[in-house]
Amino acid sequence: METKIFAKDQLDEAVDLLAKGELVAFPTETVYGLGAIATNEKSVKGVYAAKGRPSDNPLIVTVSDEEMIARYAKEVPERAKKLIKHFWPGPLTILLFVKPGSLPTAVTGGLDTVAFRCPDDQLTHDLIAKLGYPIVGPSANTSTKPSPTTAQHVYHDLKGKIAGIIDGGPTRVGLESTIVDLSVKTPIVLRPGEITPEEISQVLGEKVLINTGKVSDKEVPKAPGMKYRHYAPSAPVVVVDHVEDFAHIPLNAETGVMALKSELSKIDLPEENKFNLGNDLVDADHNLFGGLRYFDDKKQIKQIYVQGFDEGEESLAYMNRLNKAAAGHHFK
Ligand code: TXA
Ligand code: MG
């Protein structure tokens, strides 16, 4: 299959493909998503096949506005309305009980909840509004690889497997949306993102829990995706928690280093062995996945050392992704 790249002004062609049941990747403010019409079971199954994703890992339903979720949610509780009013369109995904029979079980993975997301991206808004139906929107990468933050990343992973990619340029945030579960008594953040638990708690005026991510394979996990290996390039990743330790890592042709510009300049390695995460944590969020992909394409690199940041509200999302990419390995 030829994978077409669509420019911003070719949206109608992308809408036609989606309406026909084809798969089209789309930009959001977080990462690129892999779209298929959410009400078509065959198309949804195609998404799992294209990504190589386990079938018990449910998909996000991407909508153009709040009205669209009323068709698929059993109810929209007051809490959800508050969060939607405050954060949508934006990088917050909300779990609600699904209206039985309104979506194929392939979307929800057979759970009684469904994840709704309304991205802050005009192209995607127009795409879904024109289609008139929501689209599923998992990250548009091959399962286990870092999420794509450019149309080129999507093309690298999925060329020949999907009908098209809408190129909206590099994404703004670079890490996936915050997921908050509202189907439980106390709201719980299942995946940290740009919108912090503290901000959610402030808008709701109540306590918000944070999932620690320790999910065993035996129980039914609340965010099934968390039990799988994720964000991982082929070479092992090691987190460097203290910048002083960059002075102690082995430096040779097989070493890759990802750090802020200020640290990178002190490290004596050829430029191609270094990846600049930028000037601050916001830049690092934006660049993390691109850096992991950069080294994944350099087969001579056998070990990737990545700068960590002190745990805190602001670094939750970055450290969550980095810890997964590193499978818990920290420099000692
Ligand atoms: O920023 C984002 O959220 C991106 C963009 C493209 O919108 N999408 C994204 O989708 O990250 P994905 O599929 O890569 O990650 C969604 C996560 C998965 O870990 C999945 O297990 C979880 O959400 N999830 C989806 N539906 C769920 C449900 N009903 N209950 C619990 N977890 C759910
Ligand atoms: Mg993903």
Place 220 in a pLDDT band, splitting at 50, 70 and 90: very low
Per DSSP, helices labelled H in the chain are: 11-19, 41-51, 66-69, 78-87, 105-108, 122-131, 151-158, 197-204, 261-264, 281-296, 316-325
CA pair distance 40, 61, nearest whole angstrom: 12
**Ligand 2: centre distance to CA 267 (Å):** 32
CATH class, domain 237-325, is: alpha beta
pLDDT greater than 50 at residue 216: no
What pLDDT is stored for residue 234 in this prediction? 87
**Ligand 2: centre distance to CA 305 (Å):** 22
Place 217 in a pLDDT band, splitting at 50, 70 and 90: very low
**Interval 267-287: pLDDT, tens:** 999 999 999 999 999 999 999
Residue pair 282/236 in contact by the 8 Å Cβ criterion: no
Place 111 in a pLDDT band, splitting at 50, 70 and 90: very high
Is 143 a pocket residue for ligand 1 (Cβ < 6 Å)? no
Take atom 31 of ligand 1 and give the residue whose Cα is closest: 223
Is 177 a pocket residue for ligand 1 (Cβ < 6 Å)? yes
What tokens does 320 get?
A: 């969550």
- Pocket probe for ligand 1: among 99, 176, 226, 227, the residue whose CB has the most ligand atoms within 8 Å is 176
3-state helix, strand, coil in the chain (%, to 5): 35, 20, 50
**Interval 226-268: pLDDT, tens:** 666 678 888 999 999 999 999 999 999 999 999 999 999 999 9
Which whole number is the average pLDDT over 110-121? 97
The residue assigned the tokens 């460097």 is 240
pLDDT greater than 60 at residue 325: yes
Take atom 19 of ligand 1 and give the residue whose Cα is closest: 225
Place 122 in a pLDDT band, splitting at 50, 70 and 90: very high
What pLDDT is stored for residue 183 in this prediction? 96
**Ligand 1: centre distance to CA 330 (Å):** 26
Phi-psi category of 119—alpha, beta or left, where left has phi over 0 and alpha has psi -120 to 50? beta
Is 45 a pocket residue for ligand 1 (Cβ < 6 Å)? no
What pLDDT is stored for residue 311 in this prediction? 86
> In this structure, which ligand is nearest to the CA of 103?
1
What tokens does 108 get?
A: 């929800």
Domain boundary assignment for the chain: 4-224, 237-325
pLDDT greater than 50 at residue 110: yes
Average pLDDT of the chain to the nearest whole number: 94
In terms of CATH, what superfamily is 4-224? DHBP synthase (3.90.870.10)
Take atom 29 of ligand 1 and give the residue whose Cα is closest: 114
What pLDDT is stored for residue 289 in this prediction? 98
**Ligand 2: centre distance to CA 112 (Å):** 20
pLDDT greater than 70 at residue 214: no
Which whole number is the average pLDDT over 48-76? 96
3-state secondary structure (DSSP) of residue 224: helix
CA pair distance 148, 142, nearest whole angstrom: 9
Percent of the chain beyond pLDDT 90? 92
What pLDDT is stored for residue 223 in this prediction? 64
**Ligand 2: centre distance to CA 293 (Å):** 15
Q: What is the pTM of this model?
A: 0.96
Interior angle at CA 26, CA 25 and CA 30, nearest 5: 120
Q: Which of 47, 74, 54 is nearest to 135 (CA)?
A: 47
Binding-site residues for L-threonine: 30, 117, 177
Is 58 a pocket residue for ligand 1 (Cβ < 6 Å)? yes
Is 33 a pocket residue for ligand 1 (Cβ < 6 Å)? yes
What pLDDT is stored for residue 215 in this prediction? 46
**Interval 150-159: pLDDT, tens:** 999 999 999 9
Closest ligand 1 atom to Cα of 140: 6
Query: Cis omega before residue 119 (within 30°)?
Result: no
CA pair distance 70, 246, nearest whole angstrom: 51
Percent of the chain beyond pLDDT 70? 95
**Interval 165-176: pLDDT, tens:** 999 999 999 999
Is 222 a pocket residue for ligand 1 (Cβ < 6 Å)? yes
Global ipTM: 0.99
pLDDT greater than 70 at residue 129: yes
pLDDT greater than 70 at residue 49: yes
